[in-house]
């Protein structure tokens, strides 16, 4: 190692003095430049300022003053608030799931407890697998004026995993006499849908339009749900409100300009507001400027009912009036 150091030192002495001075000066300038240079630092993360929230003031009773109230004030039905007819909850929140097959499927007609003697709802079985509301109500119309006006209808599709390979349905009539008439026809084997003889029985969840006319979205309860599990007896049902108007029907006539009164135009308008089923559409008359169509819905509640509401609210050029249900027979 000493020999190597002596050799390097000897080579440095061999370099001319002037050259060594230039080398030393260059090294010094480089060191000064590095010492004075500034290296940019990465930007600091931006942090939103924390705004302290005001502490709720306490009332003498110990309740915070800024706590939102949980008491809901009565409001108009959701679909009829504001200037326009709002789409129904069923349309806006539809998950696409099929309704249960059993005859205790969720009722579309919320009602107070209905006495069995006033039940107007029938549960129908042995329907074709592809049966829908249009097929079912169309078969009822084919019977002629036998049952009376139809208030509501609903079809449950087959549920093979549960062992149900046929469809079932619920039909609610305006009057108990209409339900009784169809029950008797089915007991005689006189009502068929798609070539299959329909079986009928009273729906175990009693329903009647007389108990919901003019009421809001109350929560109903089936007659077989009373006094289950012991305890105090359920209070007697309140007296029913006045029955629905005799003019109400699932069949509606729409008359107005061609551009607004057509199956495609009205169907698109209804489809943007609520879910509905069409049995058939009949053209009553047509002139050079106007057209009149008769629309047969799957039921009055809520289909024909909401159709009339929506047209009256958003289509002032169109006249909507209830027409006679082909099944109607009872005064």
What is the SS3 assignment for 209?
Answer: helix
**For residues 193 and 189, what is the distance between their CA atoms, to the nearest angstrom?**
11
| Residue where a domain stops, chosen among 161, 179, 210 | 210
| Residue where a domain stops, chosen among 147, 182, 210 | 210
Which residues in the chain show pLDDT less than 70?
A: 1-21, 24-25, 27-112, 212-245, 330-331
Task: Please indicate, yes or no, if residue 168 is contained in any of the structural domains.
Answer: yes
Q: Does 197 lie in the same domain as 145?
A: yes
Task: Please indicate, yes or no, if residue 153 is contained in any of the structural domains.
Answer: yes
Nearest 5°: the CA angle 12, 15, 17 is 110
Q: Does 201 lie in the same domain as 121?
A: yes
| Residue where a domain stops, chosen among 210, 239, 268 | 210
**For residues 103 and 105, what is the distance between their CA atoms, to the nearest angstrom?**
5
The β-bridge partners of 256 are 291
Which pLDDT score, from 0 to 100, does residue 78 have?
47
* Domain that residue 305 falls in: 251-323
Which pLDDT score, from 0 to 100, does residue 104 have?
33
Q: Does 317 lie in the same domain as 255?
A: yes
pTM equals 0.61
Q: How many structural domains does the chain have?
A: 2
pLDDT digits (tens, 9 = 90+) for 268-320: 999 999 999 999 999 999 998 999 999 999 999 989 999 999 999 999 999 99
Task: Please indicate, yes or no, if residue 10 is contained in any of the structural domains.
Answer: no
Task: Please indicate, yes or no, if residue 52 is contained in any of the structural domains.
Answer: no
Task: Please indicate, yes or no, if residue 219 is contained in any of the structural domains.
Answer: no
Nearest 5°: the CA angle 72, 73, 77 is 100
Domain with residue 314: its CATH number is 3.30.70.330
Q: Does 258 lie in the same domain as 205?
A: no
Of 133, 115, 106, 95, the C-alpha closest to 300 is: 133
């Amino acid at each position: 190692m000493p020999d190597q150091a002596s050799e390097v030192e000897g080579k440095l002495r061999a370099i001319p003095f002037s050259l060594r001075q230039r080398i030393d000066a260059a090294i010094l300038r480089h060191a000064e430049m590095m010492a004075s240079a500034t290296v940019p630092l990465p930007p600091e993360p931006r942090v939103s300022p924390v705004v302290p929230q005001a502490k709720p003031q306490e009332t003498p009773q110990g309740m915070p003053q800024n706590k939102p109230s949980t008491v809901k004030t009565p409001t108009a039905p959701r679909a009829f608030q504001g200037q326009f007819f709002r789409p129904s909850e069923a349309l806006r929140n539809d998950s696409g799931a099929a309704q249960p097959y059993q005859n205790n499927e969720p009722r579309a007609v919320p009602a107070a407890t209905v006495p069995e003697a006033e039940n107007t709802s029938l549960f129908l079985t042995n329907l074709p697998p592809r049966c829908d509301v249009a097929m079912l109500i169309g078969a009822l119309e084919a019977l002629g004026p036998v049952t009376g006006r139809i208030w509501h209808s609903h079809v449950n599709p087959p549920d093979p995993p549960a062992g149900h390979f046929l469809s079932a349905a619920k039909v609610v009539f305006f009057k108990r006499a209409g339900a009784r008439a169809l029950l008797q026809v089915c007991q005689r084997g006189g009502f068929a849908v798609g070539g299959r003889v329909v079986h009928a029985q009273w729906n175990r969840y009693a329903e009647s339009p007389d108990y919901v006319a003019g009421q809001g979205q109350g929560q109903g309860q089936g007659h077989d749900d009373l006094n289950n599990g012991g305890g105090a007896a359920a209070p007697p049902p309140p007296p029913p409100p006045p029955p629905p108007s005799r003019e109400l029907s699932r069949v509606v006539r729409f008359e107005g300009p061609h551009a607004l009164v057509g199956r495609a135009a009205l169907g698109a308008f209804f489809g943007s507001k609520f879910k509905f089923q069409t049995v058939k559409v009949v053209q009553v008359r047509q002139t050079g400027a106007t057209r009149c169509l008769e629309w047969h819905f799957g039921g009055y509640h809520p289909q024909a009912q909401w159709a009339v509401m929506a047209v009256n609210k958003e289509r002032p050029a169109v006249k909507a009036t209830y027409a006679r249900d082909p099944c109607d027979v009872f005064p």
